[in-house]
Amino acid sequence: MSNTLKYLLIFDFDETIINENSDDSVVQVAPGQELPDWLRETFEEGYYNRYMQKVFEYFGDQGVTLADIKTAYENIPLSPGMPELFRFLFKNQDRFEIILVSDANMFGIESTLKSNGYHSLFRRVISNPTNVGKSGHLNLGPYHTHSCTQCPANMCKRKVLTEYLAERSHDGVTFENILYVGDGANDFCPSVIFTSTDVAFPRKNYPMHKLIRKMEEQQKNSYQARVVPWDSADVVSRYLQALFNKS
């Protein structure tokens, strides 16, 4: 039996749920609160995930514990209005299916969500896998491979979303609307397949918002989704409340 749910609500993590980039924030656990030049110089554009694998290895070599890393993630501040938005979603969670798609890592995201009491809100958290190695180091891997030329080598969120929708359709679940809260260029990528009934919430003047504007400037009406920029997540709460009042 097919079950049509109204809303699939998708969140990014870095600079969306939290107000910082978690990869930058976690550097504070390094000796002297910074990484050595030789390590920073190994970074290659499009391969941030591979770079962070080396960062976690370095932490382990320097005696940084998992508890230190976990505490750093737990202390990252949430974005403005995000606690209020999550309180609203807890009260109305039967109206949504909520997932998180992030190019950060599972250990960091789960540490943050659990410490703030939000983990149970998400049906699924999709991010780069982490495990603890024999020596107690945190290991980080890529999420998948893909052929998208716009996205980092380890994750294309358009592919993630397409596969998720196909899986839910196979389960007999379809959605009338997709609602997407994000900030980055990799959040723009999945949003280009949205239809006019879907809503993109790009963080105001961040890369996702700029790319949407650029696409619209190049060809009017080429971006199909409704665009609701936010600087505080209160904007998202108000929009969702208005949606309910209409339905």
- The answer to the question of whether 198 is labelled as a binding residue is no
- 124-126 and 96-101 strand pairing: parallel
Q: Active-site residues: which are they? A: 12, 14
- The answer to the question of whether 12 is labelled as a binding residue is yes
The per-residue pLDDT for 42 is 96
Judge whether residue 25 has pLDDT over 60: yes
- The answer to the question of whether 94 is labelled as a binding residue is no
Number of H helices, E strands in the chain: 10, 8
The per-residue pLDDT for 247 is 67
Sequence ranges of the domains in the chain: 3-246
For residue 172, give Cα distances in angstroms to 2, 118, 119, 168, 209: 4, 27, 25, 6, 33
164: exposed, middle or buried (Cβ count in 10 Å: 0-12, 13-18, 19+)? buried
Give 153-200 pLDDT, tens digit per residue. 999 999 999 999 999 999 999 999 999 999 999 999 999 999 999 999
Fold of the CATH domain 3-246: Rossmann fold (3.40.50)
Give the pTM.
0.95
Q: What percent of the chain has pLDDT over 90?
A: 90
